[in-house]
Structure 1
Amino acid sequence: MDDSTKRLLQQLVRRIPTQMLKTTLEKWGRLTTEQQKSLDFTQPKWVLTENLLAFCEENGWTTKHITELEMIYVTDSPNQGMWYAFQLLDPEDDAPSVELTQFKEQFKIHLTELIRHVSIKIKKHTDEAVWIRIAWGDSFSRPNHLKPTYVVHHLQTPYVFMSSVTRKQKPLLSQALVLATRYTAIKDAHLSGRKLTAIRDVVMKQYQQVFPTKYPSPLLEQNQTASNPLIKREQAESSENRHQMACEAFGYGMVPQLQTAVYKLETKFRGITNKTMTERGEPIRCVVKFTSTNLLESFRNCASSGIASTPVTPLLSSITQKGRNFFVITDNGRGPS
């Protein structure tokens, strides 16, 4: 066992929560029955690490085996790190027919043509998503398995999700993806978050949506509380309309747990009291960032309860309608750009 394999195993065991370590190792299937039984998961993490290092030496595990274990953990725990959504553009005629075997072969061929030293591992998950692990090197150094890039792509869809990719690596990765999927280009979807499942559900519309109709039927508000019958009767229609519009903007029932939304404002100073600011050549810039454990649910509750006005402003409803959570607002546009 070389030092790089040892460091990779140590780093990985530190990352995996103790309560998940046993099931992750069982899925991996590299331990013998006796080795599995000998592990006491009530012991401190450093003791478990030392035991696994001994097994690694005994079984002759290589970096390839440890990266298999890492992929099992990452695919079972996708809601960590920072994920960025991208959209493939202009599919070629044969794009819908690309299958896993063809995609794997083409992706590896194109990426290895672009960069000499790179390690690629591709695995199809149970939800049909294709997971790609990439360890990058360069012309003079071997791939660094301690800082891999992860990519998730659902075949026959135009969406790709990336994590831990640098500015230098992104053009190479994008080109390989475009060629392997038989599309023409790829663009930033301006949607990111620490929960892969949330940004996937937002961009792919995988949540219960409510569409406006000419004669909408009132949606039942959840967690209703008792109130004065007269007041309730007077406010019923207004409350139902607010709730309807809130659900049209942000979804109904369980919504994706998006955690942030960022609005970057670029505007000119207007007024006659401050000529210095009025004659300023550069625009005034500021950033507004909303954060919550579940931002869409928070916005929906604010609109439904009357804290925020309805109809919901496009500045907020664009999160779900456009599938993004980063916007640049300028003087020339009527809404988020």
Structure 2
Amino acid sequence: MGSMDNTAKRLLQRLVRRIPSQMLKTTLDKWSRLTAAQRQSMDYAESKWALTEKLLAICEENELTVKHIAELEMIHVIENPNLGMWYVFQLMDPQDDAHSVELTQFKEQFKSHLSELIRHVSIKIKKHTDEAVWIRIAWGDTFSRPNHLKPTYVVHYLQTPYVFLTSPTSKQKPLLSQALVLSTRYQAIKDANLSGRKLTAIRDLLMKQYLQVFPTKFPSPLAERNCVVSNLHIEKEQAGSAANRHQMACEAFGDGILPQLQSAVYKLETKFRDHTNKTMTERDEPFKCVVKFASTNLLESLRHSASSGVTSTPVTPLLSSVPLKGKNYFVITDNGPGPSSQMKPSQK
């Protein structure tokens, strides 16, 4: 009978603790490492402690290693993509053959490039049903084995320039960037200035998988559907402006169910302008501050505030840039001399 090492045991314990009991059965069923009899012997009504002990004993019996437990973790993360913090990077300048890169070629290239760059690394690649390529990387270094307790997850849809990843360290990021650029046949990669806790939301925002509304000169079905007029004599004018506000709000942010972003951050690096405060106005260095908008569904909140008249319409480009540019992190700088309103959202 084999003996699981401490890392494998800790990874399994952490996984069982993290996965709700009612979800554990379906997760284990998708894992091919237990026999039918072993799966049936699990009693999911038991406590998490008892379930963990039982599963540890089965894994010991099957002589499973940390790589096998990492497969189980990967199944759980793929099935629950909205649990961590995701950051978006964008591939730049595709080479002529970038569009023809397929899964087998990408897998071989990525593994070989990353293994050349770092001596101890463990890479697992799996294609999901929605065409996403999922990569799990456990990082080591010249002297230490890969740390499976702190993996980086990378999601890439082949034939798109977008890469979604959980936070790698500053040491790992250039290695990962280089391996991705080489294996996708692009020439560079940049921070897309978009992040969020829901992978599905930031993916839908970038790939425009939500109902967009475009400006029209004709009476809008949107306005007709959403504008209920109870007293034509009193409310005719109000209804017209309300319908107009709603139309503009939907043109800026979309209609229907919107991608669930949690925040937008604006970092201001501008000149301080106030003729009553010479000390601040005459400073050479820019005035710096950070403004953060946060909500359980930011785009929905912004759309509602514009539609209801809380914020003015047409919607300021500072806010409409979130869905338009697919970003939620902006650095705002002065657009040359002139009033402070002359500012532009510029990329970090």
- CA deviation after TM superposition for structure 1 residue 224, in Å: 6.7
Tell me the secondary structure at the aligned position of residue 171 of structure 1. Answer: helix
One of 74, 77, 82 as aligned partner of 2:77: 74
Question: TM-score, normalised to structure 1's length?
Answer: 0.96
One of 178, 195, 199 as aligned partner of 1:196: 199
Measure, in 2, the Cα distance between the counterparts of 1:164 and 1:50. 31
Q: Could you say if the C-alpha distance between residues 122 and 273 of structure 1 is closer, same or farther in structure 2, counting changes exceeding 3 Å?
A: same
Tell me the secondary structure at the aligned position of residue 147 of structure 1. Answer: strand
Tell me the secondary structure at the aligned position of residue 222 of structure 2. Answer: coil
Aligned to 1:252: 255
- CA deviation after TM superposition for structure 1 residue 30, in Å: 2.2
Q: Could you say if the C-alpha distance between residues 171 and 231 of structure 1 is closer, same or farther in structure 2, counting changes exceeding 3 Å?
A: farther
Aligned to 1:152: 155
- Bigger drift between 236-245 and 142-151 goes to 236-245
**Does structure 1 residue 134 correspond to structure 2 residue 137?**
yes
One of 229, 237, 246 as aligned partner of 1:243: 246
Unpaired runs of 5+ residues, structure 1, are none
**Does structure 1 residue 335 correspond to structure 2 residue 321?**
no
CA contact (8 A) 2:223 2:244 kept: no
Measure, in 2, the Cα distance between the counterparts of 1:219 and 1:33. 54
CA contact (8 A) 1:218 1:240 kept: no
- CA deviation after TM superposition for structure 1 residue 275, in Å: 2.9
- Bigger drift between 230-239 and 13-22 goes to 230-239
**Does structure 1 residue 93 correspond to structure 2 residue 93?**
no
- Bigger drift between 222-231 and 202-211 goes to 222-231
Aligned to 2:307: 304
**Does structure 1 residue 51 correspond to structure 2 residue 54?**
yes
Tell me the secondary structure at the aligned position of residue 263 of structure 1. Answer: strand
Tell me the secondary structure at the aligned position of residue 104 of structure 1. Answer: helix
CA contact (8 A) 1:218 1:241 kept: no
Q: Could you say if the C-alpha distance between residues 272 and 44 of structure 1 is closer, same or farther in structure 2, counting changes exceeding 3 Å?
A: same
> Where in structure 1 do 4 or more consecutive aligned residues deviate above 6 Å?
221-226
CA contact (8 A) 2:263 2:328 kept: yes
Measure, in 1, the Cα distance between the counterparts of 2:159 and 2:168. 23
Aligned-residue Cα RMSD (Å) equals: 1.6
**Does structure 1 residue 323 correspond to structure 2 residue 326?**
yes
CA contact (8 A) 1:118 1:134 kept: yes
Q: Could you say if the C-alpha distance between residues 174 and 216 of structure 1 is closer, same or farther in structure 2, counting changes exceeding 3 Å?
A: farther
Alignment-mate amino acid for residue 49 of structure 1 = T
Aligned to 2:189: 186
Alignment-mate amino acid for residue 292 of structure 2 = K
One of 8, 12, 16 as aligned partner of 1:9: 12
One of 108, 112, 117 as aligned partner of 1:109: 112
**Does structure 1 residue 213 correspond to structure 2 residue 216?**
yes
- CA deviation after TM superposition for structure 1 residue 29, in Å: 3.0
Unpaired runs of 5+ residues, structure 2, are 336-341
Question: TM-score, normalised to structure 2's length?
Answer: 0.93
Q: Deviations over 1:113-140 (max 9, x none)?
A: 1001000000000100000000000000
Tell me the secondary structure at the aligned position of residue 168 of structure 2. Answer: coil
- CA deviation after TM superposition for structure 1 residue 4, in Å: 1.4
CA contact (8 A) 2:123 2:135 kept: yes
Tell me the secondary structure at the aligned position of residue 180 of structure 1. Answer: helix
Measure, in 1, the Cα distance between the counterparts of 2:310 and 2:224. 16
CA contact (8 A) 2:91 2:161 kept: yes
**What percent of counterpart residues are identical?**
76
**Does structure 1 residue 265 correspond to structure 2 residue 268?**
yes
- CA deviation after TM superposition for structure 1 residue 108, in Å: 0.6
Measure, in 2, the Cα distance between the counterparts of 1:224 and 1:34. 60
Aligned residue pairs: how many? Answer: 337
Q: Could you say if the C-alpha distance between residues 226 and 26 of structure 1 is closer, same or farther in structure 2, counting changes exceeding 3 Å?
A: farther
